[in-house]
Amino acid sequence: MARWWQSLFHKSERDRLQSLRTLFEKFHEILDLNNAVLNLIADMGEKLSGDYVFDAHYIESAVEELNDLMYRIIYNLNSITDNRNLALYDAFERIRKRILEELSPTPTRAGELVLPLDRVTRDLEDLVGKKMSSLGEIALRLGGHVPPGFVLTTHAYRRFMDQAEVRDFLEETFDALKRGLSPEEASERICKVLTQAKVPQEVERALQPHLAALREAGHRWFAVRSSALLEDSELSFAGQYRSFLQVAPDQILARYKDVVSSLFSPEVIEYRNRHGLSHLDTAMAVGVLAMAPSRVSGVLYTRDPEMPDSNVILISAAWGLARTVVEGRGQADFYKLSRAHPAGASRLLESRVAEKTTQWLGQGEGGEKEVPVPAELRNVPCLSESDIEKLADIGDRLEMLFRRPQDIEWTMDESGAIHILQSRDLRIRTQERIAPEAVAEAARARPRIMENAGMVACRGIGAGKVVHVLEDADFARFPKGAVLVAKSTSPKLSRLIPLASAVVTDIGTPTGHMATIAREYRVPTLVDTGRATQLLAEGTEVTVDAEERVIYSGIVKELLQFQATEEHPFPDAREFRVLRRVLHQVSPLYLTDPESREFTPENCRTYHDITRYSHEIAVRQFIEFHLRGSKWKRVPMFRLSLPVPLGLVVIDLGGGIAPDTHGRVLTPDAIASRPMKALLIGLCAEGVWKTNPVDLDFRSFMASLTRTAHTASMDPHRTQNLAVLSNEYMNLNLRVGYHFNMIDAILTENRNDNYIYFRFLGGVTEMTRRTRRARFLGEVLNHYDFIVEVKGDLVVGRIKKISRPMMEDRLAMLGRLIGYSRQLDVLMRSEEAVDTFVREFVLSRHSGPPPRPKED
Amino acid sequence: MDEPLEILVLDDEPIVCTRIKPSLEKAGYQVEIMTDSVRALDRIREKRFDILITDYRMSKVTGLDLLNLQKQIWPDTKVIIISGYATLEVARKALQSGVYDFMAKPFRLYELKEVVERAAQTIRAARQSQRPET
């Protein structure tokens, strides 16, 4: 934003305005910087949509820019508050350091030796390896289905390997390897040293509380599983690393060392030699999971790897532990299901019940053993129809979660509960990959319902039946795998995202809340398409290509197959993980209640917190200053005389008031400020200020409003309504009793500069009603495409980068909203009342002038 | 249908290559990717690509070097430079040296595709005019 006010202040009353000028400059600079930070965070978030090509350099420079902006915010805030917020520098430094850690080439969070599985997500792959990061993600997104446990991280691995005797020995051995030592010999030597080495005490100490918690919960046996860092080049090793079942607690560390040793098997050493990979830079995390009691175990493929486009699910199952099936030992039942594409009701096509003579079971003394299957179970299917159905459903959900065909190792306990032991991308034979030309060809031939459709909020391709979802729809009835079509992106719809194969909305932004959720679940999403709800007919099958922004009629198998077999799915790329982790330190907002005692610099956990805190303090400082009085008496202020009972003081920074204005009292037509003019249209619209039965509260409210109409009687303890204007800018502060409403807006021809920031806090009644009022405001703002945060009775609504007509429409709406909602919390006697008022407001707006212009 | 056009994508950062490749393949192009600029020089010497998409700043050879070589050997190849360090100076130099277009990273995949599409049209039009009898 330009520093337009500087020159303006120079023009008149320079000296007297000096301190106000400085304050306003700083105040506004903080607002600008805040917006810059939030914009940058939103931009960084948008990069996660997959629509952009970016690299590590982008992340680094974005972080650098963020750091710079943050520093300037803190500096400015301190300069207007006499250094009363120096503690913000400490908060900043703390967060900055954590971000740097995330950027460093070796895995993150150096302190974390052991992580419980319920804190693991796929973003932590560098720390917990591929297998465990997937399991953590499943537990988080599917809500369970994974045995409890913890992970010894790659950092623990490095501590173990960095012990002097280990490191030196390894270096020697690898030197010897170069001089001709055989991989077999090297492997044997290394494994011997590793199994004899001691696991560092700090690792053991870090592990103990997690193990104790599991034992307390009744778990006696554990699985110790490898979870290597698998870059593409190492994918082929996945099966080589070792895992152990039915491990007693006191054996866990010994098995840990065995698992780590499997990084140095002769085959792996040879492979690394061949490809010039370093033996020392590798790392492995190890998962320790409670043994799930296994009645039946097996493997599920969500597609046939030989025929990936055939839409079948394959399940193998055998009694006891998974070894029978995983290692192909012994006989297993086989089930083949067809499924409605891409997820949905499945039908059993084929079942082959094998004679199962032996099974692997965990032993009372530890370890597993192959034992005979009791005669009466040998020829009986291990899975009932409902078991199969449950498994197929989980298969569907996992394929949707990972957006790739999955190879899933599962087990089922006596109660029929399913536990996922591993889920990884199904390896589809290369020759089964579809040729890109065939995809291009097929796509060209298909009828297109929409082209250049909106913006990509999450890149990808999804297909299914169209299901329109209204705000008040019965969410429980949304079918899994359908294409969700809605008018706007609303936080409420976010709940359905995990079930959808794709999402398409008429309006919305790729930086909104719903877009974030879509990216978390990797659901292909197009927003701001304009007419999806009109063009996509309920119940028809469509393919949403949220890459080319095209919606095809029917299911384009080739596109889906191309995506399913893509070699480098973007969300798994290291750069995406790093960006997500950086954003995790930057963008969540924990500091939401400015009235709370927790609202301090010390409690700022993210950059967003710091900006929120600084903004709040800056606004307070500015308001305080203008309430302090003396200097203000000589500031050229105007009184705006309105046909409604609202007194308003106006400060013109230039161009906000028509040049031929005389006197100190203005009429609305003297306002030249674009955003203010638009707001006044709504504020002064007929019917908005119709007098309802007057409550006591309302009467005092009105009294306080009219009082401000006399600028001469400015009393710092009374309410102040202030508008700071320029031609394209408006900063409106309405302060009535305990309410504090601020609207900050810039309205230009350039949509990228445009924004409205709406903030409402407080109320005169008790908390419940205040919260209801907040909900009312939130829902109305949400209806009009604002990005809304409602926390308690604090409402923040933001909208930006919209066209001029759209801005004018939204500002007029806010004008009406100010009038309409002025006494609402007195009237909001029930939750139903909130809904009624929301409806009434939205309807009255559509029936009366001004008409809502179309977005361009 | 025309023969698919051949594109070489060169960038130090593997992610740039792996993101661009499927996107252009899906649009019907034949795409080769490389992350080593020295090897890319050899590749350019031995094979003619219709379009070269290259990073500007790489560890050993710059995009400009590549552009110059490309122009010497295969003057018809359209070169698109992508850079994360976009300055006016860089853009000016590139355009003076006959680059087809210049894009600042990060960019949207479809933006690149549009540029490629435009270049492809030019190439096809030129070919048509060279073979009026067919």
CATH number belonging to the domain at B6-130, selected among 3.40.640.10, 3.40.50.170, 3.40.190.10, 3.40.50.2300: 3.40.50.2300
pLDDT(A108) > 60: no
- Looking at per-residue confidence, does A143 or A93 come out higher? A93
pLDDT(A446) > 80: yes
Does the pTM surpass 0.90? The reply is no
Residues A516 and A370 in one domain: no
- Given A236, A260, A290, which residue is the final one in a domain? A290
Residue recorded with tokens 């319920």: A118
Q: Hey, is the C-beta of A232 within 8 angstroms of any chain B C-beta?
A: no
Residues B70-105 have pLDDT tens digits of: 888 888 899 999 988 777 787 787 788 888 998 989
In a domain, A15, yes or no: yes
Q: Hey, is the C-beta of A552 within 8 angstroms of any chain B C-beta?
A: no
In a domain, A689, yes or no: yes
Residues A640 and A610 in one domain: no
Tell me if A798 sits within 8 A of A785, measured CB to CB: no
The complex's ipTM works out to 0.92
Mean local confidence (pLDDT), B12-33: 92
pLDDT(A78) > 90: yes
| Contact between chains at A53 and B105 (C-beta distance less than 8 A) | yes
Name the E strands within B5-106.
6-10, 30-34, 51-55, 78-83, 101-104
Residues A594 and A559 in one domain: no
Q: How deeply is A454 buried, as exposed, middle or buried, from its count of CB atoms within 10 A (0-12, 13-18, 19+)?
A: buried
Residue A354: per-residue pLDDT = 81
What are the two backbone dihedrals, phi and then psi, of residue A741, each rounded to the nearest 5 degrees?
-125, 125
Q: How confident is the model at residue A55 (pLDDT cuts 50, 70, 90)?
A: very high
Q: How confident is the model at residue A843 (pLDDT cuts 50, 70, 90)?
A: confident
pLDDT(A577) > 70: yes
Residues A838 and A748 in one domain: yes
Mean local confidence (pLDDT), A146-174: 89
pLDDT, chain A, mean: 81
List, as one string, the DSSP characters of B48-62: --SEEEEES--SSS-
Among A369-373, A635-639, A734-738, top mean pLDDT goes to: A369-373
For the stretch A423-437, what's the b/e string if a residue is b when 16 or more beta carbons lie within 10 angstroms of its beta carbon? bbbbebeeeeebebe
Residue A849: per-residue pLDDT = 42
Q: Hey, is the C-beta of B25 within 8 angstroms of any chain A C-beta?
A: yes
pLDDT(A30) > 50: yes
| Contact between chains at A436 and B22 (C-beta distance less than 8 A) | yes
A51 CA: distance to closest CA in chain B (Å): 5
User: First CA to last CA across chain B, in angstroms?
Assistant: 14
Mean local confidence (pLDDT), A761-784: 73
Sign of CA dihedral A2, A6, A12, A13: positive
**Three-state secondary structure along A644-695?**
CCCCEEEEECCCCECCCCCCCEECHHHECCHHHHHHHHHHCCCCCCCCCCCC
Residue A63: per-residue pLDDT = 96
Q: Which residues have a Cβ under 8 Å from the Cβ of A226 and sit 6 or more positions away?
A: A129, A131, A241, A242, A243, A259, A262, A284, A286, A287
Residues B34-56 have pLDDT tens digits of: 999 888 888 988 999 999 999 98
Partner residue opposite B105 with nearest CB, options A55, A443, A562? A55
Domain coordinates of chain B in residue numbers?
Answer: 6-130
pLDDT(A844) > 80: no
A820 CA: distance to closest CA in chain B (Å): 43
3-state secondary structure of A425: strand
Tokens standing for A650? 């106006």
Residues A326 and A390 in one domain: yes
Residues A342 and A456 in one domain: no
Residue A472: per-residue pLDDT = 66
Residues A801-842 have pLDDT tens digits of: 889 999 999 999 999 888 887 766 566 666 677 788 888 888
| Amino acid letter for position A732 | L
- Given A247, A272, A290, which residue is the final one in a domain? A290
Q: How many CB atoms lie within 10 A of CB A112?
A: 18
Q: What is the CATH number of the domain that holds A324?
A: 3.30.470.20
What are the two backbone dihedrals, phi and then psi, of residue B53, each rounded to the nearest 5 degrees?
-110, 120
Residue A600: per-residue pLDDT = 92
- Looking at per-residue confidence, does A365 or A453 come out higher? A453
In a domain, A382, yes or no: yes
Residues A651-670 have pLDDT tens digits of: 877 788 888 877 888 889 99
- Given A275, A290, A305, which residue is the final one in a domain? A290
pLDDT(A719) > 70: no
| Total CB pairs under 8 A between chain A and B | 75
Residues A378-407 have pLDDT tens digits of: 888 888 988 998 999 899 889 888 888 899
Q: How confident is the model at residue A170 (pLDDT cuts 50, 70, 90)?
A: confident
List the one residue out of A113, A109, A107, A108 whose CA is nearest residue A205: A113
pLDDT(A366) > 70: yes
On chain B, the residues whose CB falls within 8 A of the CB of A60 are: none
Element (H, E) at A418: strand A418-425
In a domain, A777, yes or no: yes
Tell me if A251 sits within 8 A of A189, measured CB to CB: no
pLDDT(A491) > 80: no
Q: How confident is the model at residue A633 (pLDDT cuts 50, 70, 90)?
A: very low
Residue A290: per-residue pLDDT = 93
Instruction: Give the domain extent around A814.
Output: 636-847
| Amino acid letter for position A492 | K
| Contact between chains at A568 and B18 (C-beta distance less than 8 A) | yes
Q: How confident is the model at residue A709 (pLDDT cuts 50, 70, 90)?
A: very low
In a domain, A121, yes or no: no
Q: How confident is the model at residue A508 (pLDDT cuts 50, 70, 90)?
A: confident
| Amino acid letter for position A582 | V
Residues A407 and A525 in one domain: no
Q: Hey, is the C-beta of B82 within 8 angstroms of any chain A C-beta?
A: yes
Tell me if B108 sits within 8 A of B42, measured CB to CB: no
Residues A189-246 have pLDDT tens digits of: 999 989 999 999 999 999 999 999 999 999 999 999 999 886 544 555 656 788 888 8
In a domain, A530, yes or no: yes
